[in-house]
Amino acid sequence: MPSYAITGASKGIGREFVRQLAANPTNTVLAIVRDPDSPDISELASHHPNVHIIQGDVTDPKSILEAASAAEAVTGGPLDVLIHNSNAVDMASMSSTPTQIPFDSRAVRTMFDLPFSTAIYGGLWTTNAFLPLIERGVRKKIVHISSAMGDCAFIRKSGVSDAVAYAVAKAGMNVQVAKYAAELAPKGIKVVALSPGWVDTWEGEKPEPVVHAQQVMLKQFQTAEPTLKGQIQPEESVKKCLQAIGHLDMGSSGLLLSHNGDTERWF
């Protein structure tokens, strides 16, 4: 009975991971969320007895350690796959380029703290908290949901110069994953950064500024991938991500992979 733990499971890609994994009754699915009463994940869990909602905040070391203990109680000790999906950004500064960063320490910390707290610090604390369970698991896989926006080659090819804090955090995540892969290889543990593609996770009607921003992004991304038509839905993204996770081996451990399972096709 494979076991999976997913952080940031209350919405978007995280919730879709839970939904698709829960469809197989032989899976044990641990949905790690800050708010266990979040209606969307609660409603999903009510239809799937193999889904266990666990309170856990990846930005709080004590909270995520408690979440790992709760997960251990559910599985009896082991965990096969950890998917660190939590993500947060300062939306007000996403359009800023490096030269637009203000000479204001408080403003800059506001821009960088959210993505760093979830991607970098949260990635460390979550991985370390759940590592003893992974060591006792069979599949021994740790996945950090990253982005091609943190890949230098993609930035050069696409010319995307904004979303600085988000991209820097994801680049740091990619390096952190490589460090974990190097350290944990002797234990047979595979660690990978995984880009889910350009996914439409917006819920409800999109405001005009969001629509405009996505149109600008599409043109930028088309510089790197001329055939790109637009965003994909969470269902398609997660389906491909799970296939990539299924094929993860020691040969790909430490890499930034796309949802297509390679290091080139980001869309």
How many other C-beta atoms lie within 10 A of the C-beta of residue 138?
12
In a domain, 214, yes or no: no
In a domain, 154, yes or no: yes
The pLDDT value recorded for residue 203 is 86
The pLDDT value recorded for residue 20 is 98
In a domain, 184, yes or no: yes
End-to-end Cα separation, the chain, in angstroms:
32
Tally of domains in the chain: 1
Q: Which residue has the tokens 């269902």?
A: 235
Domain of residue 140, CATH code: 3.40.50.720
CA distances from 108 to 81, 151, 169, 184, 224 (A): 35, 22, 14, 34, 29
d(CA 201, CA 91): 14
In a domain, 51, yes or no: yes
Domain residue limits at 32: 3-205+232-258
In a domain, 85, yes or no: yes
The pLDDT value recorded for residue 210 is 86
Is 121 considered catalytic here? no
The pLDDT value recorded for residue 213 is 87
Q: Model pTM greater than 0.75?
A: yes
In a domain, 220, yes or no: no
Considering the candidates 3, 140, 166, 190, report the single residue annotated as catalytic: 166
Is 187 considered catalytic here? no
Tens-level pLDDT at each residue, the chain (267 residues)? 899 999 999 999 999 999 999 999 999 999 999 999 999 899 999 999 999 999 999 999 999 999 999 999 999 999 999 999 999 999 889 999 999 999 999 999 999 999 999 999 999 999 999 999 999 999 999 999 999 999 999 999 999 999 999 999 999 999 999 999 999 999 999 999 999 999 999 888 889 988 988 999 999 999 999 999 999 999 999 999 999 999 999 999 999 999 999 999 999
The pLDDT value recorded for residue 219 is 94
In a domain, 190, yes or no: yes
Is 147 considered catalytic here? yes
The pLDDT value recorded for residue 80 is 98
In a domain, 189, yes or no: yes
Considering the candidates 140, 141, 170, 240, report the single residue annotated as catalytic: 170
The pLDDT value recorded for residue 1 is 85
Composition of the chain by helix, strand, coil, percent to 5 = 50, 15, 35
